[in-house]
C-alpha cells in the first residue's frame, strides 16, 4: 500500500510543480518536462541522505555539504541537458528562479519532508510483526511460547533463563547466542548475559535498559547499537 501511495505522491508532485513553473516556460508541456527534470536530483538526495550519519557531527556536516553541492550540480546538468538535447523548454526570463540554489534546495527539502510525513501516517503492513511461537525444552518438558510474551533472555553461568511477561521463568540449556539466532530482530543484545525484547523496554540510558521495573546492564560492547536502535523509538532516556 505504501508503494502505491508513494507513486501517487510523486505523480501529484510533478503535476503541481509543473503548474507552479508554467510561467517560466513557453507552454504547459515544457513546464511538465522541466518538473520531470528536477526529479533526478531529488531522488539522489533521498538515496544518499539516509547514508549520512551525525555520530561524528563534523563529518556529518561535511557530508551534508557535499550532498547539497552534488544534488545542485545534478539538477543543473539535467535541466540544461533536457533543454538542449531532448526538448526545448523555451525558458523565459522568469526561469532564473530555477537556477537559484536556495529555491532548488527548498524544493528538495520540502518534497522529501512532505513525502516522509505522509508515508509516516500510512501503516507499513510489510513490517507488521508476526507473533511466532518458539518451542524449546525446559526441565525435560517441551515448552511453547509466543515471542511477544518473552521479556528478555538471561544467561547465568551454564544456564539460560527465559523471563516472560506473566512473571514466569523457564530454564534451558540452549545458550544465549543460539537464542539470538532463533528470535527475530525485535530482540536486542545489550550484554553478553542479556537479550531483550524491544517491545518490553520502557526506558533506557547509555548504561541500562528497563523492562518494567527491572533494570538490565548495557555493556560497552553493545552501547552504541542499543542507543542507535532505541533512539528511533518513543522511549524516555
Give the per-residue SS3 of the chain: CHHHHHHHHHHHHHHHHHHHCHHHCCCHHHHHHHHHHHHHHHHHHHHHHCCCCCCCHHHHHHHHHHHHHHHHHHHHHHHHHHHHHHCCCCCCHHHHHHHCHHHHHHHHHHHHHHHHHHHHHCCCHHHCCCCCEEEEEECCEEEEEEHHHEEEEEEECCEEEEEECCCCEEEECCCHHHHHHHCCCCEEEEECCEEEEHHHEEEECCCEEEECCEEEECCHHHHHHHHHHHCCCCCEC
- Domain assignment present for residue 236? The answer is no
Q: What is the span of the domain harbouring residue 14?
A: 2-126
**Mean pLDDT of the chain, nearest integer:** 88
Provide mean pLDDT across the span 165-182. Answer: 91
Return the ∠ at Cα 152 (arms to 147 and 154), rounded to 5°: 130
Domain end marker among 97, 126, 155: 126
State the cell numbers at 219: 555493556
Is 27 in the same domain as 122?
A: yes
Is 6 in the same domain as 26?
A: yes
Query: Residue 145 maps to which CATH number?
Result: 2.40.50.1020
Is 73 in the same domain as 23?
A: yes
pLDDT of residue 122: 73
Is 104 in the same domain as 218?
A: no
Number of domains the chain contains: 2
pLDDT of residue 104: 92
Is 15 in the same domain as 114?
A: yes
Provide mean pLDDT across the span 14-29. Answer: 91
Res. 197 pLDDT band, cuts 50 70 90 = very high
pLDDT of residue 218 exceeding 90: yes
- Domain assignment present for residue 235? The answer is no
- Domain assignment present for residue 192? The answer is yes
Strand arrangement, sheet containing 150-156: 169-172, 159-164, 150-156, 194-197, 187-191
pLDDT of residue 2: 65
Is 35 in the same domain as 72?
A: yes
Is 13 in the same domain as 79?
A: yes
Residue found by looking up cell 532548488 in the block = 104
Return the ∠ at Cα 58 (arms to 56 and 64), rounded to 5°: 100
Is 167 in the same domain as 120?
A: no
Q: Note whether 89 and 33 are within 8 A (CB).
A: yes
Res. 1 pLDDT band, cuts 50 70 90 = low
Domain end marker among 126, 161, 181: 126
pLDDT tens profile 117-154: 887 777 665 555 567 889 999 998 999 999 999 999 99
Whole-model pTM: value is 0.53
Is 145 in the same domain as 167?
A: yes
- Domain assignment present for residue 237? The answer is no
Is 97 in the same domain as 164?
A: no
Is 147 in the same domain as 107?
A: no
Domain end marker among 126, 157, 178: 126
pLDDT of residue 89: 87
Q: How many CA atoms lie within 13 A of 177 on its CB side?
A: 2
pLDDT of residue 160: 94
Res. 50 pLDDT band, cuts 50 70 90 = confident
- Domain assignment present for residue 88? The answer is yes
Residue found by looking up cell 547509555 in the block = 206
Provide mean pLDDT across the span 42-63. Answer: 86
Is 159 in the same domain as 202?
A: yes
- Domain assignment present for residue 60? The answer is yes
Amino acid at each position: 500500500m505504501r508503494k502505491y501511495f508513494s507513486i501517487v505522491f510523486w505523480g501529484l508532485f510533478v503535476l503541481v510543480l509543473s503548474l507552479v513553473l508554467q510561467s517560466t516556460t513557453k507552454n504547459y508541456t515544457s513546464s511538465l518536462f522541466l518538473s520531470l527534470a528536477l526529479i533526478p536530483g531529488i531522488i539522489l538526495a533521498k538515496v544518499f541522505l539516509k547514508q549520512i550519519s551525525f555520530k561524528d557531527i563534523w563529518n556529518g556536516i561535511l557530508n551534508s555539504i557535499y550532498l547539497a553541492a552534488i544534488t545542485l550540480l545534478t539538477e543543473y546538468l539535467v535541466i540544461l541537458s533536457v533543454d538542449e538535447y531532448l526538448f526545448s523548454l523555451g525558458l523565459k526570463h522568469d526561469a532564473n528562479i530555477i537556477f537559484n540554489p536556495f529555491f532548488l534546495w527548498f524544493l528538495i527539502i520540502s518534497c522529501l519532508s512532505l513525502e516522509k510525513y505522509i508515508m509516516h501516517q500510512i501503516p507499513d503492513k510489510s513490517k507488521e510483526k508476526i507473533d511466532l511461537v518458539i518451542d524449546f525444552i525446559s526441565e525435560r518438558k517441551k515448552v511453547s511460547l509466543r515471542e511477544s510474551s518473552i521479556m528478555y533472555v538471561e544467561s547465568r553461568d551454564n544456564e539460560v533463563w527465559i523471563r516472560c511477561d506473566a512473571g514466569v521463568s523457564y530454564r534451558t540449556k540452549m545458550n544465549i547466542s543460539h537464542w539470538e539466532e532463533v528470535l527475530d530482530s525485535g530482540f536486542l543484545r545489550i550484554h553478553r548475559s542479556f537479550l531483550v525484547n524491544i517491545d518490553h523496554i520502557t526506558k533506557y540510558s547509555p548504561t541500562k535498559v528497563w523492562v518494567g521495573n527491572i533494570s538490565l546492564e548495557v555493556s560497552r560492547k553493545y552501547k552504541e547499537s542499543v542507543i542507535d536502535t532505541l533512539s528511533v523509538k518513543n522511549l524516555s532516556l
